[in-house]
Amino acid sequence: MRIGQYQLKNCLIAAPMAGITDRPFRSLCYHMGAGMTVSEMLSSNPQVWKTDKSRLRMVHSDEPGVRSVQIAGSDPDEMAAAAKINVDNGAQIIDINMGCPAKKVNRKLAGSALLRYPELVEKILSAVVNTVDVPVTLKIRTGWSPEERNCVEIAQLAERCGIQALTIHGRTRTCLFNGEAEYDNIRAVKQTVAIPIIANGDITDPLKARAVLEYTGADALMIGRAAQGRPWIFREIQHYLETGKLLPPMPLGDVQHLMGEHIRELHDFYGQGKGVRIARKHVSWYLKEHAPADQFRRSFNAIEDASEQLEALEAYFENFCVNKEKS
Ligand SMILES: Cc1cc2nc3c(=O)[nH]c(=O)nc-3n(C[C@H](O)[C@H](O)[C@H](O)COP(=O)(O)O)c2cc1C
């Protein structure tokens, strides 16, 4: 998979997820086999850039892999300015968000709401492409609603504007996250344009990954929610694509080690208070496959101190292993 001058190490991309794919999680996904990660979305509105939230969302030049930064907004000049600032700060690819269904984002006519206004889409894409000298990519849904599915039209327009790769989530805006993602429209887009296409939506395991690649003909896959609590999914998929064989489950000791490191990184990155809060949701995802973890999660979520969190996790795994040996 190639985006402009960047050759990725494979065709698996970690999806941008606001509040989740922060720097520690992106690094983890990359080390666990993702060919590229995309930052959480940054608003193009300069008034919010100075907030802690935006500052932490900006990329840093020592991040591993190709640094793709996602921006969201609807004003072409503002989007171009935001792209430039992020490139100056170290972004190597600018990704434009036209896939987000969130009401907060759509109310300002950004994210997937823009798909209803192709002329404005064209202005935004051209403004950004003409302002920065790094590859610009676009992320969309298949359309506003099943009745207004215009991803083929948007893809053609994107190609004309100089967009260098297009991610398509196989749902419309009005579908939100309901039902199952469909891949017919991604396949239709792939057959229409020559730019690299990245298929996205409900890719949850290696078999599905291969099936979606084969069915759509896409050049790459983007994986979001399935990587929550399972960042090693990239390695699992890559291994299956290369060998046709499934990797054995990750040993519990490795899961424990990886999770401990991740939680420590979150504490360092956000500071104790926020780090402890953010760690809770990740721990809950890591432990969702462990049936007896419910009670643990409740007590874990009451912990306010960073080192206590780490100690509680260690004790949890010790108990878990002892109980497993007994049974
Ligand atoms: C909590 C959450 C936050 C998200 N934030 C973003 C975002 O900032 N930008 C974006 O383009 N998509 C965002 N998405 C959409 C994902 O990138 C992806 O398109 C969607 O989850 C479908 O892929 P999946 O089935 O692999 O999760 C978000 C999704 C979730 C669940």
Q: Is 202 annotated as a binding residue?
A: yes
User: Is the CB of residue 97 below 6 angstroms from any atom belonging to ligand 1?
Assistant: yes
pLDDT value at residue 30: 98
* 312 CA from centroid of ligand 1 (Å): 30
Atom number of ligand 1 nearest to Cα 169: 19
CA 16 to centroid of ligand 1, rounded, Å: 6
Per residue, the 3-state secondary structure of the chain, as one string, reads: CEECCEECCCCEEECCCCCCCCHHHHHHHHHCCCCEEECCCEECCHHHCCCHHHHHHCCCCCCCCCEEEEEECCCHHHHHHHHHHHHHCCCCEEEEEECCCCHHHHHCCCHHHHHHCHHHHHHHHHHHHHHCCCCEEEEEECCCCHHHCCHHHHHHHHHHHCCCCEEEECCCCCCCCCCCCCCHHHHHHHHHCCCCEEEECCCCCHHHHHHHHHHHCCCEEEECHHHCCCCCHHHHHHHHHHHCCCCCCCCHHHHHHHHHHHHHHHHHHHCHHHHHHHHHHHHHHHCCCCCCHHHHHHHHHCCCCHHHHHHHHHHHHHHHHHHHHHC
> Is any ligand 1 atom within 6 A of the Cβ of residue 65?
no
> Ligand 1, atom 28: nearest CA belongs to which residue?
17
State yes or no: 220 annotated in a binding site.
no
Considering the entire predicted model, what is its pTM? 0.95
> How many A from CA of 224 to the centre of ligand 1?
6
* Mean pLDDT, the chain, integer: 92
pLDDT band at 209, cuts 50/70/90? Answer: very high
309: pLDDT confidence band, cut at 50, 70 and 90? very high
pLDDT in tens, 272-287: 999 999 999 999 999 9
How far is the centre of ligand 1, averaged over its atoms, from the C-alpha of 327 (Å)? 39
pLDDT digits (tens, 9 = 90+) for 124-148: 999 999 999 999 999 999 999 999 9
pLDDT top residue among 101 and 227? 227
- State pLDDT tens for residues 142-193: 999 999 999 999 999 999 999 999 999 999 999 999 999 999 999 999 999 9
Is position 169 annotated in a ligand binding site? yes
The CA 42 to ligand 1 mean position distance, Å, reads 14
- The per-residue pLDDT for 238 is 98
What is the rounded average pLDDT of the residues 190-215? Answer: 98
Above 90 in pLDDT, residue 315?
Answer: yes
pLDDT, position 99: 82
For the cut 90, the answer to whether the pLDDT of residue 53 exceeds it is: no
Instruction: Identify which of 12, 17, 26 to mutate to test ligand 1's pocket (most ligand atoms within 8 A of the CB).
Output: 17
pLDDT digit string, tens, across residues 87-115: 998 999 999 999 877 766 656 677 788 99
Smallest CA separation from ligand 1 atom 18, residue? 224
Residue 63 pLDDT exceeds 90: no
Is 14 labeled as ligand-binding? Answer: no
| The pLDDT of residue 100 | 79
pLDDT (tens digit per residue) in 231-266: 999 999 999 999 999 999 999 899 999 999 999 999
* pLDDT at residue number 151: 98
| pLDDT of 105 | 66
- State residue 31's pLDDT score: 97
**Does 36 show up as a binding residue in the annotation?**
no
User: Does the CB atom of residue 230 touch ligand 1 within 6 A?
Assistant: no
